Amino acid sequence: MHRITVIGGGFAGLTAAITAAEAGAKVTVYEARHTLGGRARTAEGPYRTNDGPHALYSGGPHWSWLRQRNLIGPLAPIPPLEAARLRLRHKDTLRRTPPFAMVKLLRHSARQAPVDRDFMSWATEQAGEEGARAAAHYSAVALFHHDPGALSAAFVQERLRRATKLPPEAHYPCGGWGNLIDRMAARAWNLGVRMETLSRVDTLPTDTPVVVATSLDAARRLLGDDSLTWASGRTTLIDLAVRARRGDAFAVSDLDAPGWIERFTAQDRSLAPAGEQLIQGQIPIAPHESKAHGVARAEHLLDLAYEGWRERVVWRRESVANGRTGAVDLPGTSWRDRPAIDRGDGVYLAGDQVAAPGVLSEVSFNSALTAVSLALGRSHLDLKHA
């Protein structure tokens, strides 16, 4: 029987563990924290917040993989009335529809964007500067980068299309991503996976293949490999619980600058106590900007869309997600140029900043599947449908 060690018990690590165990391997997972989940953990208590937004995109391969194993669980649908309360900030005014110039970039007939040009210059040629800027800023909901227009045009276009697709691809498990992690952990346990929490690994084992399913920063330190770097985003997160009020916006997308505010209890009432609403803002900030810059921009969006929110706040939390929002590809690069999954000597990387395709959590899933297929010498396709 093959034996495999997985370091990291987040989404990538559990995907790798389940996949390997299904293929007959004996798997041990080491997680440094006292709970599994990594960035997919959901906070305990009256306000069930995630570490930033977490969406499952139904167009991705992990959707089919999770559904085949009955791991997705109940989803939180967006009520039609709430969906109609999506607002767009454009020229510092809230509106219901995007500027027409931006719509040009969303058409199915729009030209395929090139890898080697930045999105802003390419999109300006297609739809003018106003439409290009609005589209770039809207794409921040799937990028978490302070300047999406400076990234590879092909990279941004894919995320823009996925984020604006109708019906929406983004879905949210009821109760937060923690419930999805619990189901994945239960399946791993039933498959015989040994899971050790509060187990920080400082030295790689040499007697088994190892899947390092940590952040890229942690992998760089563990492997002592300074080449393990890639560009990511830096985002101010602001979580609020406010007393409910009729007429509050469901979500606000900032087209004047990158930023997104969403009332998550609009679709999942279990995330906050009765009579309260849970709102989260994600505001990308530049390297020279502080958390306060992001908070100020979030508060401006809240002032526009949530009347009297300051007097209604019953709980508040602020933080910065630095390098924890997935890979971004600069002009001239694609996912193939990111750190390779196979590091040699039986060591493989999995996570959201390595050489695997997809959007957001899809990168973690695809890299975990590839890592296990390489470790076991099995076909990627065989493992996907095991």
Q: What is the DSSP string of 283-302?
A: EE--TT--HHHHHHHHHHHH
pLDDT, tens digit (0-9, with 9 covering 90-100), for 291-332 = 999 999 999 999 999 999 999 999 999 999 988 889 999 999
Q: Which neighbouring-strand residues pair with 237? A: 282, 319
CA gap 106, 128 in Å, rounded: 14
pLDDT, greater one: 39 or 347: 347
What six digits make up the tokens of 72? 């997705």
* Range of the structural domain that residue 127 is part of: 79-167+232-327
Peptide linkage before 98 cis (omega within 30 of 0): no
Same domain, yes or no: 266 and 294: yes
What are the helix and strand counts (H, E) for the chain?
12, 15
Q: What is the CA radius of gyration of the chain?
A: 21
Q: What's the pLDDT tens digit per position in 228-247?
A: 999 999 999 999 999 999 99
Do 260 and 158 share a structural domain?
yes
pLDDT score at 378: 65
Dihedral sign, Cα of residue 349, residue 354, residue 355, residue 359: positive
Q: What is the pLDDT of residue 382?
A: 56
* Torsion from C-alpha of 151, 102, 359, 148, nearest 10 degrees: 20
pTM across the whole model? 0.94
Q: Rounded CA gap, 192 and 1, in Å? A: 13
- What are the E-state strand segments in 113-185? 170-171
At 1, the pLDDT band (50, 70, 90 cuts) reads low
pLDDT computed for residue 386 by the predictor:
53
Helix, strand or coil, per DSSP, at residue 344: strand
Whether residue 144 is found in the same domain as residue 182: no
Shared-domain flag, residues 180 and 273: no
User: Which of 113-127, 159-173, 206-220, 305-319 is predicted with the least confidence, judged by mean pLDDT?
Assistant: 159-173
197 and 64 share a domain? yes
Please compute the mean of the pLDDT values over residues 106-130 and round it to a whole number.
Answer: 92
* CATH classification of the domain holding 69: 3.50.50.60
Give the rounded percent of residues in the chain with a pLDDT score beyond 90: 83
Residues 250 and 296 grouped into a single domain: yes
Task: Give the residue-averaged pLDDT of 7-26.
Answer: 96
- Of 327, 342, 369, the residue that ends a domain is 327
Domain endpoint, select from 300, 327, 354: 327
Overall number of domains in the chain: 2
Q: Based on the fold, state whether residues 148 and 186 are members of the same structural domain.
A: no
For residue 74, what are its two tokens?
Answer: 């109940």
Q: pLDDT at residue 381 above 70?
A: no
192 and 259: one domain? no
Q: Is the pLDDT of residue 33 over 80?
A: yes
Answer yes or no: is pLDDT of 111 > 90.
no
Q: Are residues 90 and 64 in the same domain?
A: no
Higher pLDDT, 180 or 382: 180
Instruction: Give the residue, 254 or 165, on which the prediction is more confident.
Output: 254
Cα separations (Å) of 251 from 77, 87, 136, 147, 235?
14, 6, 18, 21, 17
Residues 66 and 120 in one domain: no
Euclidean distance between CA atoms 167 and 265, whole angstroms: 20
Q: Note whether 28 and 46 are within 8 A (CB).
A: no
As a whole number of angstroms, the distance between CA 338 and CA 346 comes to 19
Selection from 127, 340, 326 nearest residue 223 by Cα: 340
Q: 203 and 116, same structural domain? A: no
Q: Strand pairing of 26-30 and 3-7?
A: parallel
Report the CATH number that the domain containing residue 261 is assigned in CATH: 3.90.660.50
Quick one: DSSP state of residue 110?
S
Going by the DSSP 8-state scheme, the letter that residue 17 receives in this structure is: H
Residue 117 has a CB neighbour count (10 Å cut-off) of 16
CA distances from 226 to 143, 326, 341 (A): 25, 18, 15
Rounded distance between C-alpha atoms, residue 108 and residue 45, angstroms: 44
Which backbone phi and psi does 89 adopt, to 5 degrees? -90, 120
**Euclidean distance between CA atoms 354 and 339, whole angstroms:** 5
Identify the domain boundary among 280, 302, 327. 327
Clarify whether residues 296 and 244 are in a common domain. Answer: yes
